[in-house]
């Protein structure tokens, strides 16, 4: 028997989208975090994919959710490992 998934908002999915480069300049990266149940979503933009930029951005975004985050799932991109 398959375990029933929790219907409480506590787990989010997070992903990074690169906007693209222009005129030989690196484009920005958009971070998107969405709750699996409520679809509550927060986004931000960072200049580079590195701990220096990602850790503060993700910390700030997680504090925007109106509930406690118990965990998150990414696509195993190296920026989240």
Tell which wins on pLDDT, 27 or 76. Answer: 27
Contact in structure between 56 and 30 (CB atoms under 8 Å): no
pLDDT tens-digit readout, 41-77? 999 999 998 899 999 999 999 999 999 999 888 877 6
Say if 18 falls within a structural domain: no
Say if 28 falls within a structural domain: no
Say if 72 falls within a structural domain: yes
Say if 64 falls within a structural domain: yes
- Using alpha carbons, list the distances in angstroms from residue 15 to 1, 29, 77: 31, 10, 8
d(CA 70, CA 12): 8
Say if 27 falls within a structural domain: no
Say yes or no to pLDDT of 20 above 80: yes
Say if 19 falls within a structural domain: no
How many domains does the structure of the chain reveal?
1
Contact in structure between 34 and 59 (CB atoms under 8 Å): no
d(CA 78, CA 76): 6
Which residue range(s) make up the domain with 62? 37-81
Say yes or no to pLDDT of 33 above 90: yes
């Amino acid at each position: 028997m398959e375990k029933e998934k929790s219907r409480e908002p506590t787990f989010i999915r997070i992903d990074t989208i690169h906007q693209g480069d222009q005129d030989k300049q690196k484009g920005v990266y958009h971070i998107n975090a969405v709750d699996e149940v409520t679809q509550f979503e927060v986004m931000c933009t960072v200049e580079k994919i590195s701990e220096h930029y990602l850790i503060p951005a993700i910390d700030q975004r997680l504090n925007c959710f109106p509930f406690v985050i118990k965990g998150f799932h990414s696509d195993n991109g190296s920026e989240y490992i």
